[in-house]
Amino acid sequence: MTLPVFLTASYARLQTIWQSIESYAQSALLLLLRLHLVQVFFLAGLTKIRDWDTTIALFTDEYTVPFLPPALAAAGGAFGELVFPALLLIGLAGRLPALGLFAVNLVAVISYPSALFPEGYELATQAWHSELLGQFLGMFYQPMTPALKDHFYWGLLLLVLAVFGSGRIAIDRFLCKSYDSVKKD
Protein backbone atom coordinates (compact mmCIF):
# COMPACT_ATOMS: atom_id res chain seq x y z
CA MET A 1 0.00 0.00 0.00
CA THR A 2 1.41 3.38 -0.98
CA LEU A 3 0.76 6.66 0.74
CA PRO A 4 -1.14 9.36 -1.09
CA VAL A 5 1.06 11.95 -2.81
CA PHE A 6 -0.01 14.79 -0.49
CA LEU A 7 1.09 12.77 2.58
CA THR A 8 4.46 11.97 1.03
CA ALA A 9 4.99 15.61 0.05
CA SER A 10 3.90 16.81 3.50
CA TYR A 11 6.28 14.40 5.19
CA ALA A 12 9.16 15.56 2.95
CA ARG A 13 8.39 19.21 3.74
CA LEU A 14 8.24 18.49 7.50
CA GLN A 15 11.52 16.63 7.29
CA THR A 16 13.17 19.62 5.56
CA ILE A 17 11.82 22.02 8.20
CA TRP A 18 12.98 19.74 11.01
CA GLN A 19 16.50 19.45 9.54
CA SER A 20 16.74 23.24 9.39
CA ILE A 21 15.58 23.59 13.01
CA GLU A 22 17.93 20.81 14.07
CA SER A 23 20.91 22.50 12.42
CA TYR A 24 20.28 25.81 14.21
CA ALA A 25 19.54 24.07 17.52
CA GLN A 26 22.80 22.13 17.23
CA SER A 27 24.73 25.35 16.57
CA ALA A 28 23.07 27.04 19.56
CA LEU A 29 23.96 24.10 21.82
CA LEU A 30 27.54 24.07 20.54
CA LEU A 31 27.76 27.80 21.30
CA LEU A 32 26.50 27.18 24.85
CA LEU A 33 29.11 24.44 25.30
CA ARG A 34 31.82 26.77 24.04
CA LEU A 35 30.74 29.58 26.38
CA HIS A 36 30.67 27.26 29.39
CA LEU A 37 34.11 25.83 28.64
CA VAL A 38 35.54 29.30 27.95
CA GLN A 39 34.42 30.39 31.40
CA VAL A 40 35.90 27.34 33.14
CA PHE A 41 39.30 27.34 31.45
CA PHE A 42 39.84 31.07 30.94
CA LEU A 43 39.17 31.78 34.62
CA ALA A 44 41.64 29.02 35.54
CA GLY A 45 44.24 30.66 33.29
CA LEU A 46 43.60 34.08 34.84
CA THR A 47 44.06 32.56 38.29
CA LYS A 48 47.44 31.20 37.21
CA ILE A 49 48.77 34.52 35.91
CA ARG A 50 47.24 36.62 38.68
CA ASP A 51 49.71 35.23 41.24
CA TRP A 52 52.57 33.74 39.28
CA ASP A 53 54.75 33.01 42.33
CA THR A 54 52.01 30.89 43.88
CA THR A 55 51.44 29.15 40.55
CA ILE A 56 55.13 28.24 40.30
CA ALA A 57 55.06 27.02 43.91
CA LEU A 58 52.02 24.82 43.17
CA PHE A 59 53.66 23.36 40.08
CA THR A 60 56.81 22.73 42.11
CA ASP A 61 55.23 21.22 45.24
CA GLU A 62 51.73 19.94 44.38
CA TYR A 63 51.39 19.16 40.69
CA THR A 64 53.62 16.50 39.19
CA VAL A 65 53.59 17.21 35.46
CA PRO A 66 55.57 14.42 33.80
CA PHE A 67 58.68 15.29 31.78
CA LEU A 68 58.44 19.08 32.24
CA PRO A 69 60.13 21.46 34.67
CA PRO A 70 57.59 23.24 36.91
CA ALA A 71 58.05 26.70 35.34
CA LEU A 72 57.57 25.35 31.81
CA ALA A 73 54.53 23.30 32.87
CA ALA A 74 52.99 26.37 34.55
CA ALA A 75 53.63 28.55 31.49
CA GLY A 76 52.20 25.90 29.17
CA GLY A 77 49.12 25.45 31.33
CA ALA A 78 48.50 29.19 31.57
CA PHE A 79 49.04 29.62 27.82
CA GLY A 80 46.64 26.80 26.99
CA GLU A 81 44.00 28.02 29.44
CA LEU A 82 44.10 31.56 28.03
CA VAL A 83 44.67 31.12 24.28
CA PHE A 84 42.52 28.06 23.53
CA PRO A 85 39.41 29.50 25.25
CA ALA A 86 39.83 32.75 23.31
CA LEU A 87 39.81 30.76 20.06
CA LEU A 88 36.80 28.75 21.24
CA LEU A 89 34.93 31.92 22.15
CA ILE A 90 35.11 33.35 18.65
CA GLY A 91 34.85 29.96 16.97
CA LEU A 92 38.19 30.09 15.17
CA ALA A 93 39.58 26.66 14.27
CA GLY A 94 37.14 25.21 16.82
CA ARG A 95 38.36 21.63 16.76
CA LEU A 96 41.99 22.58 17.41
CA PRO A 97 41.39 24.54 20.66
CA ALA A 98 38.95 21.85 21.80
CA LEU A 99 41.66 19.21 21.40
CA GLY A 100 44.22 21.55 22.99
CA LEU A 101 42.03 22.08 26.04
CA PHE A 102 41.34 18.35 26.17
CA ALA A 103 45.12 17.83 26.45
CA VAL A 104 45.40 20.55 29.13
CA ASN A 105 42.53 18.91 31.02
CA LEU A 106 44.12 15.46 30.76
CA VAL A 107 47.51 16.73 31.95
CA ALA A 108 45.79 18.48 34.87
CA VAL A 109 44.20 15.21 35.99
CA ILE A 110 47.37 13.18 35.56
CA SER A 111 49.46 15.83 37.34
CA TYR A 112 47.35 16.07 40.46
CA PRO A 113 47.04 12.64 42.09
CA SER A 114 44.53 13.86 44.69
CA ALA A 115 42.08 14.43 41.85
CA LEU A 116 42.46 10.84 40.68
CA PHE A 117 42.18 9.00 43.95
CA PRO A 118 39.76 9.62 46.82
CA GLU A 119 42.44 8.62 49.30
CA GLY A 120 44.74 11.33 48.01
CA TYR A 121 48.37 11.63 47.23
CA GLU A 122 49.65 8.83 49.46
CA LEU A 123 47.61 6.17 47.69
CA ALA A 124 48.54 7.60 44.30
CA THR A 125 52.22 7.51 45.22
CA GLN A 126 51.89 3.91 46.36
CA ALA A 127 50.16 3.03 43.10
CA TRP A 128 52.87 4.57 40.93
CA HIS A 129 55.59 2.76 42.88
CA SER A 130 53.76 -0.53 43.41
CA GLU A 131 54.95 -3.60 41.58
CA LEU A 132 51.55 -5.26 41.77
CA LEU A 133 49.55 -4.42 38.66
CA GLY A 134 46.34 -5.79 40.18
CA GLN A 135 46.59 -3.43 43.14
CA PHE A 136 47.06 -0.50 40.78
CA LEU A 137 44.16 -1.45 38.52
CA GLY A 138 41.91 -2.08 41.52
CA MET A 139 42.16 1.58 42.48
CA PHE A 140 40.31 2.62 39.33
CA TYR A 141 37.19 0.90 40.60
CA GLN A 142 36.96 3.43 43.41
CA PRO A 143 34.25 6.10 43.23
CA MET A 144 35.27 9.24 41.35
CA THR A 145 36.34 12.26 43.33
CA PRO A 146 34.38 15.48 42.70
CA ALA A 147 37.44 16.97 40.96
CA LEU A 148 37.73 13.96 38.67
CA LYS A 149 34.01 14.16 37.85
CA ASP A 150 34.48 17.80 36.81
CA HIS A 151 37.44 16.98 34.59
CA PHE A 152 35.62 14.00 33.10
CA TYR A 153 32.61 16.21 32.32
CA TRP A 154 34.79 18.93 30.76
CA GLY A 155 36.63 16.29 28.75
CA LEU A 156 33.38 14.93 27.32
CA LEU A 157 32.21 18.43 26.38
CA LEU A 158 35.54 19.13 24.70
CA LEU A 159 35.29 15.89 22.73
CA VAL A 160 31.82 16.93 21.52
CA LEU A 161 33.35 20.16 20.19
CA ALA A 162 36.28 18.26 18.67
CA VAL A 163 33.88 15.99 16.79
CA PHE A 164 31.21 18.50 15.73
CA GLY A 165 33.25 21.71 15.52
CA SER A 166 32.02 25.15 16.53
CA GLY A 167 28.76 25.11 14.59
CA ARG A 168 27.20 27.87 12.51
CA ILE A 169 27.72 30.60 15.12
CA ALA A 170 31.47 30.90 14.64
CA ILE A 171 34.07 32.97 12.83
CA ASP A 172 35.05 29.86 10.85
CA ARG A 173 31.63 29.76 9.22
CA PHE A 174 31.89 33.36 8.05
CA LEU A 175 35.50 32.95 6.89
CA CYS A 176 34.57 29.89 4.85
CA LYS A 177 31.68 31.75 3.21
CA SER A 178 33.97 34.70 2.42
CA TYR A 179 36.63 32.38 1.00
CA ASP A 180 34.08 30.54 -1.14
CA SER A 181 32.71 33.80 -2.57
CA VAL A 182 36.24 35.07 -3.38
CA LYS A 183 37.16 31.72 -4.90
CA LYS A 184 34.12 31.83 -7.24
CA ASP A 185 35.01 35.31 -8.54
Where is mean pLDDT largest: 20-24, 94-98, 116-120? 94-98
What amino acid occupies position 94?
G
pLDDT one-digit tens code per residue, 37-85: 999 999 999 999 999 999 999 999 988 888 899 999 999 999 999 999 9
Using CA atoms, how far apart are residues 166 and 117, in angstroms rounded to an integer? Answer: 33
Q: What is the pLDDT of residues 12-30, one digit of tens each?
A: 888 888 888 888 899 999 9
Question: pLDDT at position 26, please?
Answer: 92
Secondary structure letter of residue 139 according to DSSP: G
In angstroms, the Cα distances linking 58 to 6, 13, 50 are: 69, 59, 13
Domain contains 7: no
Angle subtended by helix axes 70-90 and 52-61, to nearest 10? 120
95 found inside a domain: yes
Residue 115 lies in a domain: yes
User: For residue 87, is it within any domain?
Assistant: yes
Mean pLDDT, the chain, whole residue set: 84
In order of 78, 135, 144, the CA distances from 100 in angstroms are 12, 32, 24
**Residue 167: inside a domain, yes or no?**
yes
Give the domain range for residue 41. 31-184
> Is the residue at 15 inside a domain?
no
Q: Would residue 157 count as lying in a domain?
A: yes
Q: Is residue 18 part of a domain?
A: no
Residues 126-170 have pLDDT tens digits of 555 554 455 555 555 556 778 888 999 999 999 999 999 999 999
Question: Please, what is the angle between helix 52-61 and helix 5-50, to 10°?
Answer: 100
Task: Report pLDDT for 1.
Answer: 56
For the chain, what is the domain count? 1
Say what angle helices 95-111 and 5-50 make with each other, to 10 degrees.
50
